[in-house]
Each structure stands twice: as C-alpha cells, then as structure tokens.
Amino acid sequence: MSKTDKNGTAARRKGGVGRWKLSSQLIMVYCLAVFLPLAIIGSFLISTVKTRQKQYYADLLAANNDGVRQTIYEITTQIFTISESIVYNDSLISFLSGKYRDEQEMLTAASKTTLLDKYAARYAGVDGIYVYIDREDMVDYGQFHKVTDEIRQSDWYTKASEQYIPFWMAYESLDSRNTNKTWNLVLVRKMVLVGGEHEAVIMIKVRDSYLASRLTNSKYTTMISIDDQPVAFGSLQSLYGKKPDVEIDYDDKFFSFAGEVDYNGRDSLVCVNTLKLSRSANKLYLISYDTDAMDNVRRLVRISYMILAAAVVLPLIIVTIFTRRFTSQVRVLRDEMGKASRGEYREMKDEMRGSEELADAFEDLRKMVFDIQRMEAEQYEAQIRAQNIRNDQQEIEFKMLSSQINPHFLYNTLETIRMKALAAGDAEVANATRLLGKSMRYVLENTGTKNTTLQKELDHLKVYLQIQQLRFGDRVNYDIKVQDGINPDDYRMLALLLQPVAENAIVHGLEGRETGGMVLIDVHTDGDRLVIEISDNGDGIGVAELTELRERLGSYESEDRTNSIGLYNVNRRIKLSYGTEYGIDIESEKGRGTKVSVIIPQLKGM
C-alpha cells in the first residue's frame, strides 16, 4: 500500500460519524430515529395502559362490593324489622307465657300460633324462624323448641340470654337430611315474656340460596364474615366456615382495604368494606375478589409489548435488507470506478442493476469514460449532463416538498386520539384534543391568508381560551361581549390578530393570580373604527413600565421586545395594512389590571 493510501485510510479512521460506513450510518439512524423513540414512548404508554387498566378493574370490583353492601344492608334491615314484629307480638308472648294443664293443650295452642310460619312463607330471604324457651313443660313443635342442656351451654344462647341487644352470627348446623354441615347468617335476640318466669330467644336464619341469588356475580368471588367469626356466606361452597384470607383490622370501626393480594396462588384484586348493622354491635366484613383482573392486565401488557416488538423489529429487518442491497450496489459502483481510474475500460460492465440513483451514477461513469476518449464531444455532453442533474435535483426537491405531511393527517391523527380517549372514558383528554385540532386547523388554514371574518377570529380566540382553561383551571376565565347591532360575520379583519393579545393577557397579566383570573373581550364600534378591547384583572403595570412599553411598541427600531413581541407584531401588522392611525392602545394601572385595545377600520363585505 502506498503512503498516500495509508494516509487516506488513517484520515477515514479519524473521521467522525460522517466517515463511517454507509451501513453503520443507516443502523445508527434507525437506532436514534426509530428504536429509541419507540422504546421510550412505547414503554411509557404500556406502563400507563397497565396502570389505567388495573384501576379500571379495581373500580369495577369496588362498585360490585358497594352493590353487595347495599343489598346485604337491605336484607339485614328487613330481617331485623321482622324480628321486631315477632318479639313484640302479643299472641306469641301470650302463648310462650301461658299456663297449660297438659301437653296436649300446649300443642293445641302452638298449632294456632302461625305467626312464624306466615313470616317464613312471606319473605323469600327467611330460611326459618325458631323460638327457644326455657320452660320445663315445653315440647318441641315446629319452630318452637325447648332449651336443652346442650343449647343452654352454647355460646350463642349464653350471649343472647345475658343481653337484650340483638346480634348476628355465622351459625353452623346440619342440613335437612342431617348429613352435611351448613352455614347460615342468623339474627339472634332475646324476648321479654310476661311475668319474667321464663325467657325465650328467637333465631332467624337468612336463606343462603336467597343471598346467593342476590349477591353472587360470576366474575367475582364474594364472602361475608361477622366480626372475627368464620365466613357466613360465600359465593363458593368451599369458603364457608373458614377465616377470610385477607388480613382485617377488627379494631378499626370502619376498616376498608383495596389492593392486590395473593389469593389461592393467583395475583388478585381485593376490596374489603365494613358494614355496621342497624341497632346491633356487630360489623359485617364484605370481601370481594377479582381473580382474573391481573391476568387480563398482564395479557394486555404482553400483547402491547408484542406490538411494540413488532414495531421495532419489522423496521429493523427492512432497514437491514435495504442496507445490504444498497451497500452491495455501492460496492459494485466503487469497483467500476476503480477500473475506470486504472484505465481498465474494457473490463467495465455494460450496465448495473439497482436503485435509479446508483444506476444513473454508473451510467454517468460510463459516459465520463466515453467522454475521456472523445474530448471534443465530452465538454458539450458534460454541460447537458450537468443541466440534467440540476433538473433532477429540482424535481427531487419538488417531490420532497410535495410529500410533506398533509395537514389533514394531523387532523385525522388528533381525531383518532380523541376517539380513543372517549372510548377510555377520558372526556377531558378528548375535549382538549378536539380544541387543539380546531386551533391547528384555523392557524394552518390562515397562514399566509391576509383577511378573515371577525366571527372566525372570535371563534379561534374562544378555542384558545378554552384550551388555557383546561390548562390553568380557575386561574383563567373569560367572557366575550359583542355590541348589539354588530354581526361579526359582516366584518373583515387580519387573520391571527387577537390570539397573541389574549396570550399576552394570560402570560403576563394573570401571571400572579392563582384563582379568579378573568380575560374580558369587548367588541364595539367607535365612529368608523372597530375596537376590540382585551382586558384582564391581573396585577397591572406601573406608570414607568407602561411608558416604556408604549415607546417600544411605537418604535420599529427597538431591539428589546422580549416581553412584548406579540403586541409589537400585532401593532406593526395593523399599521402596515391599515395605516398609522390604527394599531393598539394599552391602558393599565398597578393593581387594577390591563386593557389592550385593538383598533382597526370597519371593513365589511368579501
């Protein structure tokens, strides 16, 4: 290798990215322009989707739990009302407190006491009503039971006999066949009998199938426990009689919890709420599980990552294929150029297949070789080729300009975002996107346009102020007043004239206000002039600062217009278009706000 070649190779190695191989440059462009933005934005969007989807399922679960809470409150209130009617029923009290000569007389009286049967038959939620009385002469008949030693020693009877406050409990008993254990939600309360010789306790069982029909949802697992007792109701039979899996702070009067837990080996969402029962010391804990929510969220995240991976890999494959084909064509062209530089004209190929640009370059190379052999024709043909190249460049530039993004693409993209926001239930994002689209459409349609109507200008100003309201909330409010007799559609004016003035009022006028900011737009006529006043209730401007501002607006040579460039441009456009007698006028007082008057001639018609 010659010294010159060595120096050239060393120079290429010392060069920056621009000196890299073409394939390396294309891969670098792909990484910077495609991979990194997709990875960053895609990861952020997937994280946002995951969070919102999880919250969506949590909200559904909370709504279901609240529905269970309302239903169980309705059922327990109804059961308590029934118990009130029973314990204070005179005929029942008379039967339980009466004197009977023999067992037959008692059975006859019991058969005539049908109050309990009527309530059990009338209310679907009642599985049974039972009365336990501590009379020695009492015999078991229907719902009436004598208190045996086993019953007397039970926790629930002991608790009922010691207090008059009704209480709820999870009650375990055998089914009608005495083969399987069942659990029921029951209300237990003591009755006051005449004479005080005996005491009676009533127990009202809530029908488990009725609770299941009212509370069970195929999507969720529901269970109800009373205080620290086992589960009294569950949407699955396996839940009965067990302690809830979720940790509950029984000392918290209104314990509630919502979050992600491990339930039966699955990541699940859980919602726990406390129901304080009416006229009872008991608390019901309503527990709802969604065992499928996290699986659905993870499935959505996996699909999103697969889409993101496809969005990254497919362009990489395309770029790689294109790079290999293009660089192979470049190498062929380089080899042919090397042959030409060495004078090996006869060994050069007749044509080269590939992209149009490289094929043209190869053809130019062959023409150059031919022109070297024919010096006189070379100069003339070279001029023609140069002109052709310039024409091609102009055509390429024209095609590049023609392929710029159509504004409708932006509008359609914004509309797609708005529809997706509506589908996700995010009305605020949808409204903001709609307003932004309207604003962009007006600006793009009026860029380079000299005149528009007052109505369109006010509509654009209203859209801008609505966008600012979404951004700043109560800090920015506005009101637009038009003098009676003025039809804004009849008046012509410069396009994009009012929005910079309103923007100045918000950015500078309302800068110090946290709430209650107001921008007032007042349109009226003054002789043959049309006046649009834009005022704010901000901090206002001092006398010295106002004087300096007016001087800057009036001077075309001022270089320092950092804080008033919008007003300066508006003022200059008006004066250049309508004359020096028109423009803007500023009035302000420290602590009283600022008013900017846009003064233009009254121009009507097209």
Average pLDDT (440-466) is 84
Contact between 223 and 247 (Cβ < 8 Å): no
- Mean pLDDT lowest among 358-362, 394-398, 511-515, 540-544: 394-398
Instruction: Say how far apart CA 33 and CA 46 lie, in whole Å.
Output: 20
In terms of Cα–Cα distance, which of 412, 421, 417 is closest to 441?
Answer: 412
**55-69, 191-205, 385-399, 430-444: which has the highest mean pLDDT?**
55-69
Q: Is the pLDDT of residue 242 over 80?
A: yes
Q: Over range 411-435, report the average pLDDT.
A: 77
pTM assigned to the model? 0.51
Asked if 148 contacts 124 with a C-beta cutoff of 8 angstroms, the reply is: no
In percent, the amount of the chain with pLDDT more than 90 equals: 34
pLDDT tier for residue 393 given thresholds of 50, 70 and 90: very low
The alpha carbons of the chain give a radius of gyration, in whole angstroms, of: 44
Q: Which two tokens stand for residue 414?
A: 């914004």
- In whole angstroms, give the CA distance from residue 225 to residue 285: 5
CA distance 321 to 311: 16
Compute the half-sphere exposure of residue 544: CA atoms within 13 Å on the CB side of its CA: 0
| Mean of all residue pLDDT scores within the chain | 83
Residue 397 has pLDDT above 60, yes or no: no
| Residue ranges per structural domain of the chain | 19-291, 405-447, 451-604
Amino acid, single-letter form, for residue 146 = K
CA distances from 358 to 66, 119, 523 (A): 71, 96, 63
Question: Is-contact 539 497, C-beta < 8 A?
Answer: no
pLDDT value for 71: 93
Quick one: average pLDDT of 177-182? 74
Q: Please identify, in words, the CATH class of the domain defined by 451-604.
A: alpha beta
**Range scoring the smallest mean pLDDT among 108-117, 287-296, 395-404:** 395-404
> By CB neighbour count within 10 A (0-12 exposed, 13-18 middle, 19+ buried), where does 76 fall?
buried
Confidence of residue 347 (pLDDT cuts 50, 70, 90): low
Evaluate whether 533 touches 595 at the Cβ level (below 8 Å): yes
Q: Architecture of 19-291 per CATH?
A: 2-Layer Sandwich (3.30)
In 419-476 the beta strands, taken as DSSP E runs, fall at: 451-453
Rounded mean pLDDT, 97-111: 86
Question: CA–CA separation, 58 vs 272, rounded Å?
Answer: 12
Question: Which pLDDT score, from 0 to 100, does residue 576 have?
Answer: 86
